[in-house]
Structure 1
């Protein structure tokens, strides 16, 4: 159900990191690691499955929106996730 804006303690801009701000140019990251980074966490931070699922829900559209600036690496095995990194200039 919609809520009036004045019912919130704070309203903030909906800003997201650019790929260059978020990712190390020499590294490749899984969607799970990107999800953590988008929240200001370390890529290997220990979080519960429910939280991880929510964070991945935010990370997938971020990857899609920034696809022109990213490259994809094949997963090491069929059971592993793919890896994303910054596209070289």
Structure 2
């Protein structure tokens, strides 16, 4: 959902990731909070408390996962839900 002019930026999102491929594992949900930084696309960056999961989330709800280590291959979440 796009932000309207004057609307405050969402501070937290719940990112839902798929379970393991080929299995019946439950989906993983990770809560991320705004870091105050901007990603490569100019959108706000959000991170989990460990700082390992980082995502750039646009005002359109598009998510770009950001690698935080040299050998990471971050999975793309199925859904990004704004939280109060």
Does TM-score exceed 0.5, indicating one fold? no
TM-score computed with the length of structure 2 as normaliser: 0.25
Larger helix proportion, structure 1 or 2? 1
Which structure's residues are more often strand, by fraction?
A: 2
Choose 1 or 2 for highest CA Rg.
Answer: 1
